[in-house]
Amino acid sequence: MPILQVENIYKEFGKLEVLKGISFSLDKGKTLAIIGSSGSGKTTLLRCLNLLERPDQGIICVNHEIIFDAEDKAVQREAQIRKNRLNFGLVFQSFNLFAQYTVLKNITLASELLAMGEKNRGKSSAVHQRIKEEAYELLAQMGLSDKADAYPHMLSGGQQQRVAIARALALKPQILCFDEPTSALDPELTGEVLRVVRELADKKTTMLIVTHEMAFARDVADHVIFMDEGLIVEEGTPAQVITSPREERTRQFLSRFSNEP
Amino acid sequence: MYECFCEVREKMTGLQSIILRLINSFGLNVRLFFMTLLFSLPLGLFIAFGSMSRFKPVAWLTKTIVWIIRGTPLMLQVLIIYFAPGLLNLGSPWGSGASARFTAATFAFVINYACYFSEIYRGGIQGIPVGQTEAGQVLGMTKLQIFFRVTLLQVIKRILPSMANEIITLVKDTSLARIISIKEIIMMAQEYTARGLIWPLFSTGLFFLAFVGVLTLLFNHLEKKLEYFKA
């Protein structure tokens, strides 16, 4: 049963049409990889799902609930958008950790602010304690237990990205999105991030990954979408799309990665 | 011998009273300085938001005001703000006497410095990577939460050196208030110059130096305090 349904998303910036009618769905517990060259609209699609951009047309449903409809102004109110964003987590290419906070505070900040917003949730110190404990658990999961009190600039790129993943997971999103999570990393640091993502896939976390790591997409994804010029050109299992693509455009794109093992 | 001693004592009391009067009048400079900071620091933030407003008329209006205020001498602004209401038959919003002049001067200083601060704030805010804001957004934070919990401290860290510069300029600008007969330290010292005594005027420099010295130490301390993170 699909947890995410995307119907006919259009988005243009001025005269530039970036998305020209994107529809797909994603089942709970599955990993979807979106591949395609730069400028194909992958990142814009991800930003539309997280409502950092508002699609010009189209509908986004999570668990059969409409979280965005370009025709419906009611779901586009700021407070509603903010609430609906929490269905998704987003891990950025450039980490975007909050510079002035420790690793622990980066992970707990949003949860604490949300808890402050909701009243009558029991003793605040108990809530506080639970948020902290969960953050420590996430750090352990990321292999960063010893970095709780470090500041972002003290960490390597790979460590920062793992903190960013923990930060996104702390709000327990239905769907975790990654926007080229390893593109800003030195090659020797990509492995540690990909390992964490692979573990999440093994735990049946629903994920949507925009990536240039073909080998990784082939190994981890349940479903692959190839995008080109704002359209989905081809989709299917990794074996279909990456190993034996039907479309000429997909073959052209993948030939650039053919040197990979 | 005794006569000589008396003469020295007379000179001493003369010296003491001059210094005391200089100190007292410097109190006016210091008061004007703190009053200006108190109001212009927050007002500058509103002006900065105005100039960044997506509603074009507001942005345009704010930018024009900033242009006018930064484009004309502060001394002229003090004169206009103090005298214009009377000349235009608008009554006397400042009241009368020394306190009225001080209020008018404070008003002019606040507007002037708020405009300068607003441009520093704007540069600082726009210099923060948009990723910091977006990270807050995807974590469900409100605009205010993002500003106060994420952006603000990074902005402060970035703008501290330019703010220090501007605030140090403010210390010395306070002596411009004498244009509407506020008896700040330089005006006071000039009264002695008129009587042929030149050292009080020269010594006023030491007052400014000492005050700016303290401020410099304070700003260095703040910069050190914010060194724990990089932004």
Chain A CA closest to residue B153: A100
How does pLDDT run across B122-177, given as a tens digit for each residue? 999 999 999 999 999 999 999 999 999 999 999 999 999 999 999 999 999 999 99
Nearest CB neighbour to A100, from listed B131, B136, B229:
B229
Distance in Å, alpha carbon of A86 to nearest chain B alpha carbon: 6
pLDDT tens series, chain A, 261 aa: 799 999 999 999 999 999 999 999 999 999 999 999 988 999 999 999 999 999 999 999 999 899 999 998 888 888 899 999 999 999 999 999 999 999 999 999 999 999 887 765 556 788 889 999 999 999 999 999 999 999 999 999 999 999 999 999 999 999 999 999 999 898 888 999 999 999 999 999 999 999 988 989 999 999 999 999 999 999 999 999 998 899 999 999 998 876 554
* Cβ neighbours of residue B209 closer than 8 Å, sequence gap 6 or more: none
- Interface residue ranges in chain B relative to chain A, Cβ cutoff 8 Å: 129, 131-132, 134-143, 145, 149-150, 153-154, 157, 228-231
- Predicted confidence at residue A261, as pLDDT, reads 47
Q: Is residue A159 part of a domain?
A: yes
Write the ipTM: 0.91
Q: Is residue A110 part of a domain?
A: yes
Consecutive 10-residue runs of chain B (231 residues): their mean pLDDT?
Answer: 56 80 95 97 96 94 97 96 88 83 96 97 95 96 94 95 97 96 94 91 96 97 95 79
Q: Is residue A126 part of a domain?
A: yes
Three-state DSSP at A122 gives coil
Nearest CB neighbour to A153, from listed B145, B150, B230:
B230
Q: How far is CA B33 from the centre of its chain?
A: 5
- Interface residue ranges in chain A relative to chain B, Cβ cutoff 8 Å: 50, 52, 78, 82-83, 85-86, 88-90, 92, 94, 96-100, 109-110, 113-114, 151-153, 167-168, 171
User: 3.40.50.2300, 2.40.40.20, 1.10.3720.10, 1.10.10.10: which CATH number matches B2-172+185-228?
Assistant: 1.10.3720.10
Q: Which domain holds residue A110?
A: 99-172
Q: Is residue A138 part of a domain?
A: yes
* Cβ neighbours of residue A35 closer than 8 Å, sequence gap 6 or more: A42, A210, A211, A212, A214, A217, A224, A225, A226, A227, A241, A242, A253
Closest CA to A190 of A222, A219, A218, A156: A156
Q: Is residue A41 part of a domain?
A: no
Q: Is residue A215 part of a domain?
A: no
Total domains in chain A come to 1
B122 within 8 A of B162, measured Cβ to Cβ: no
Asked if B229 and A99 come within 8 Å (Cβ–Cβ), the reply is yes
CA–CA dist B99, B101 (Å, integer): 5
Residues in chain B with CB shorter than 8 Å from the CB of A115 are none
* Cβ neighbours of residue B125 closer than 8 Å, sequence gap 6 or more: B48, B52, B151, B155
Residues in chain A with CB shorter than 8 Å from the CB of B140 are 82-83, 85-86, 110, 113-114, 171
Closest CA to B173 of B181, B159, B189, B184: B184
Chain A CA closest to residue B155: A100
Tokens describing residue A214: 């073909």
Question: Alpha-carbon Rg of chain B, whole angstroms?
Answer: 23
CA–CA dist B177, B108 (Å, integer): 10
Q: Is residue A148 part of a domain?
A: yes
- Predicted confidence at residue B95, as pLDDT, reads 80
How does pLDDT run across B17-28, given as a tens digit for each residue? 999 999 999 999
Q: How many CB pairs under 8 A join A and B?
A: 66
Closest CA to B139 of A53, A68, A169, A47: A169
Q: What is the pTM of this model?
A: 0.86
Distance in Å, alpha carbon of B151 to nearest chain A alpha carbon: 9
CA–CA dist B170, B152 (Å, integer): 23
- Predicted confidence at residue A117, as pLDDT, reads 78
- Predicted confidence at residue A187, as pLDDT, reads 86
